[in-house]
Amino acid sequence: MMIYEASDQYGPSYEALKKAIALAGTQEALAQMLGVTQPAVNKMLKSKAPLGAHHCVRIMTHLGISRQELRPTDYWEVWPDLPEPSAQEPTRDAALKRLP
């Protein structure tokens, strides 16, 4: 599982979304898969908000990227069927507390 590292520049879904774009080939290809426009994908990439749950499910289904990777800060709240992270897998808040 990817552990989210805090960043002032990117949101929690940034790395997984970059991976999805790479797997899809282009932002345009991912946009078609999600039923949105390429500018919408670019906006998602730049957003500090987590990726929408409905987009996460489509990406997981078509590209195999896990919901945990797509929403590392709150996946257990969005999908109660997934277990909460264990003490060995710090959440974003725990990671922030350890920063100098």
Specify the pLDDT at position 42: 96
Domain positions in the chain? 14-98
**What pTM value is reported for the model?**
0.72
Specify the pLDDT at position 77: 79
Q: Which residues of the chain have pLDDT under 70?
A: 1-8, 87-100
Contact between 2 and 69 (Cβ < 8 Å): yes
Specify the pLDDT at position 88: 47
CATH 1.10.260 is the classification of domain 14-98: yes
